[in-house]
Structure 1
Amino acid sequence: MGLQSYDYGLRPHDNFTVVREFYLNNNHLEILNRLFTPMIGVNATGLYHYLNQFVKHEEDAVLTHYIIMSELKINLLEFRKEMDLLEGIGLVKTYVNHNEQHSSFVYFLNQPPTAKQFFSDPMLSVYLYSEVSKQRYQQLKHHFETKSSVDLNSYQDVTRTFTDVFKIPNKALAQDTEHIQDDKPYGGIDLTQVHFDFETLYDLLQNHFISSKIVTNDAKALITQIATLYGLTPESMKRIILKSITSAQELSFEELRKHARTYYLMEHEQQLPNLQVKSEKDNVPSKINTSEETSSQSDNWLVQLEQTSPIDMLASWSESEPTTQQKFMVEELIERENLSFGVINILLQFVMLKEDMKLPKTYIFEIASNWKKKGIKTAEQAYEYAMKINQPKKESYPTKNRYKQKQLASREMTPKWLEERDEKPEKDNQQHNDEEDEKLKNDRERFLNQLKNRWKEGE
């Protein structure tokens, strides 16, 4: 999966605003439904349509993510998963403003591309082709082709111009168009974080007496797209460019796309690349130093608790959806006490361990009020305080160093104190078992001896 809800500090009570700076027409809907849905799925395009309803929402009414969760019947992780797809494909831009109380989000709905833009984009067109059959791709392309019903080749354009019909005014009227909305075209897939070594490419072209001037700004954008799509190196790109230069010593974009596609198909058994969503492990940077990795696992656990909704934590911990009453209790707890997610997660886990996995509301609110008075604001502070007030049972709660022994799962929110509360060193367990076996053996022999003595007395 891509980014999680906690990567944005997203919480249910955070408010949001939806902005759309273009007129959404039927052509846009056709593009979304026919071309984008096969690539990113109906849930993502459905979320785009759903967010559109809030564009002209009353300014004095506050919209929170509770509305999205309630109406779409999804949690914040599922919401962020679909938003990742919309953002990655270039249909949505997200902005956030954090403060101490909550975060405010602004979701900009980007204008979908025209059909010509879509099929001219090497990445979008190839990814669509990979998701549908060749016949279906041709059907979709044919659907958006505009054909004139009249052949105008033998006709002459005799349309009057403006100055042919109207007088030009002597005085120009001062124009103030600053606040007039202008449709913003589709910006394409954002590849600003992608690096392609153009300096090496220029050097390679120079060896063939090809000037770097042939690579214009538009050509650089297309080369970056093609290199990203097909995973091409500067050496491979040089070969493709040499085949795409016209007799006028200009670079043909159409030939560039065609030769790049042919090159990739030859290298990959005639299989075009498809659109793949990153998994969670793809988003975790690799770590070379094992000691550094293990030393930070406990901190990662606390950070994870700080950034995960308590409802999501309960669902992941118990491997079942929390009851409606539990959800209402958590929502009330968040709104009433204004504690961070991390503090609430530690609090709920603490109570469940003390109350045999139950969640008594009165007890929870009493502890929450007490922790708030004591100024506990982070998961780490809550953890340390929970350890402190349970000193007699300290052996049931592991120290932070014990967290180093296990790799944290990105979605698994089972607290380490629950996983390890019943653990004992293997050596102690074996010794205990041996002592129990020896005791049982001695007791059995003693009992048999008593029976023998009684039988002798009876004789």
Structure 2
Amino acid sequence: MGLQSFDYGLRPHDNFSVVRNFTINNNHLEILNRLFTPMIGSNATGLYHYLNQFAELEPDTVLTHYIVMSELKINLLDFRKEMDLLEGIGLVKSFVNHNSQYSTFIYELVQPPSAKQFFNDPMLSIYLYSEVSKQRYQQLKRHFESKIHIDLNQFQDVTRTFTDVFKVPNKAYENDTSQIIDEATYEGLNLSRVEFDFETLYDLLQNHFISTEIIDKDAKALITQIATLYGLTPEAMKRIILKSITSAQTLSFEELRKHARSYYLMEHEQQLPTLKVKPENISDQKIDNQKDQSENENNDWLKQLEETSPIDMLASWSESEPTMQQKYMIEELIERENLSFGVINILLQFVMLKEDMKLPKSYIFEIASNWKKKGIKTAAQAYDYAIKVNQPKKETQSNKPYFKQKQLASREMTPKWLEERDKNETNTQTKGEDDETLKKDREQFLNQLKNRWKEDK
């Protein structure tokens, strides 16, 4: 999530002003109310409307955040949460200047996109589609379509030009327009911090004798959007691009969007991605005075693993860019075993804990094959199974010594801290003691994984 009130040093007496370098009209309000509200909620779009009134005030008018708190009946944390949504979706920009007494904030309202821009944006259109029904989506789209359909191909354009009507001035004059404010237009979702491995994609395309020149600036922007939206690897993107090349050896953006959407639907049981806000961190919970809900945090963490590319997870987990061999291995693993991102992320984390941050390929593929045979399809199933295989087994279950059983049972993946868990345990432990030990081990392991996961966030 974006910066919160405490990150900004935001206090009630801090000043703010609102800037709007465009003229808001009814069409903008229609876009906000009909298209953005289903995605970010009425509180966020309501805050946009509320801030708009301050753009009309004189520049020297003093405003403090007390006004926002008093009139909207919210605290600064709630204010920042809604601002995060507006900033993340590209409707507001925030600027701050700190001094010893107070801070001054400037909130710039960005002009909403046109309906055509919105529905041509692969991320905005898909997220809206995911929030409303198919029938409602088509209804919203028809609302912004032209009601008049005239085929102008049967007509001749007889419009007069400027020089047909007016005399061209002969006298030159100075025309300084530097002080005229240019209208701020919607720039789309800010993906400047998203990195897609284009070098690997170029190599893969060249293997198919496809020139990298088809990936121009606009194509790179669209590929980054699509890869972020659907969590695609360079290998998957290569296959989609090959299907989207026209007979003239150019890249069709429409086909690219269509094939990427079809690929994602096949991989995710016909469910499109939805717009989700990152879970709140510990500091947010303290300020909000919310009690700790470990079960919800565990679910959020597992969902995060399901939605994160294994390459991105590996970069965060190991605090370094994965090698090309590791990236090829992960892509091969996805293609060969068809396991979900969540299962692969759990698998890679377990192996790194056991193998001192190393990723032996044959070992990983052996585990992946075994998990696939056992029908493990989600991060939650992978996590539960990995914990289960490390439960201590009683000697009465087999004639083999317990340490031999443990060695075999944990051959798939056993973090070092789990190997040390049973050193002092005897085979006479009661079931209650086993359950209590397992519970503590699960909590300790979950905290270890989550802490490592969040270190790079």
For normalisation by structure 2, the TM-score amounts to 0.62
The aligned amino acid for 1:316 is N
Matching residue's letter, 1:43? N
Do residues 233 (structure 1) and 206 (structure 2) align? no
Q: Distance in 1 between matches of 2:290 and 2:119?
A: 46
Q: Using the TM superposition, give the Cα deviation of residue 147 of structure 1 relative to its aligned residue in structure 2, in angstroms.
A: 3.8
Native 8 Å contact 1:3 1:81 kept in 2: no
Counterpart position of 1:5: 5
- The corresponding residue for 2:95 is 95
8 A contact 1:87–1:93 mirrored in 2: yes
Matched, 1:62 2:62: yes
CA–CA distance in structure 1, aligned partners of residues 185 and 58 of structure 2:
26
| Aligned-residue offset at 1:59 | 2.7
Distance in 2 between residues matched to 1:271 and 1:150, nearest whole Å = 37
| Number of aligned residues | 293
**In 2, Cα distance between equivalents of 1:156 and 1:256:** 35
Cα displacement (A) at 1:179: 1.7
1:275 and 2:275 matched: yes
Quick one: which amino acid aligns to residue 172 of structure 2?
A: A
Using the alignment, how far apart are the partners of 2:237 and 2:200 within structure 1? 11
CA drift of 1:185 comes to: 1.8
Query: Do the aligned partners of 1:111 and 1:186 also contact (CA within 8 Å) in 2?
Result: yes
1:316 corresponds, among 262, 270, 289, to 289
| Gaps in structure 2 of 5+ consecutive residues | 292-446, 448-457
Q: Distance in 2 between matches of 1:187 and 1:249?
A: 29
Corresponding residue for residue 192 of structure 2? 192
Q: Counterparts in 2 of 1:34-433, with a 5 A limit? A: 34-148=34-148, 150-281=150-281, 316=289
1:427-446, Cα deviation, whole Å (9 max, x unpaired): xxxxxxxxxxxxxxxxxxxx
State the Cα deviation string for residues 42-80 of structure 1 (Å, max 9, x = none): 000000000000012123321000000000000000000
RMSD: 2.1
Larger Rg: 1
Could you list the per-position Cα deviations for residues 114-146 of structure 1 after superposition, in whole angstroms to 9, with x for gaps in the alignment? 000000000000000000000000000011111
Gaps of 5+ in 1: 285-303, 319-406, 408-459
Give the match's secondary structure for 2:223.
helix
Note closer, same or farther for the CA distance 1:117–1:317 as it changes in structure 2 (3 Å cut). closer
Q: Give me the whole-angstrom Cα distance separating, in 1, the residues matched to 2:136 and 2:19.
A: 34
Counterpart of 2:11 in 1: which secondary structure?
Answer: coil
Q: Deviations over 1:309-349 (max 9, x none)?
A: xxx96x8399xxxxxxxxxxxxxxxxxxxxxxxxxxxxxxx
TM-score computed with the length of structure 1 as normaliser: 0.61
Name the aligned partner's letter for residue 83 of structure 1.
Answer: M
Question: 1:254 and 1:105, CA in 2 relative to 1: closer, same or farther beyond 3 A?
Answer: same
AA at the equivalent of 2:76:
L
The structure-2 alpha-carbon separation of the partners of 1:317 and 1:278, relative to structure 1 and needing over 3 Å to count, comes to closer
CA distance in 2, matches of 1:156, 1:260: 40
- The one-letter amino acid of 1:264's match is Y
Post-superposition shift, 1:2?
5.3
Mapped partners of 2:89, 2:194: distance in 1? 15
Match of 1:413 in 2: none
SS at the partner of 1:280?
A: coil
Distance 1:76 1:252, change over 3 A: same
> Match of 2:258, SS?
helix
Contact 1:128 1:137 in 2 (8 A): yes
- In structure 1, distance between residues paired with 2:168 and 2:66: 57
Q: Distance in 1 between matches of 2:149 and 2:220?
A: 38
- Structure 1 segments, 4+ long, off by >4 Å, are none
Worse-superposed segment, 240-249 or 145-154: 145-154
* Structure 2 residue identity aligned to 1:238: K
Amino acid at match of 1:30: E
Separation in 2, partners of 1:232, 1:190: 18
1:438-449 to structure 2, matched below 5 A, reads none
Aligned residues of 1:2 and 1:279 also touching (Cα < 8 A): no
Offset of residue 149 of structure 1: 5.1
1:100 Cα deviation (Å)?
1.1
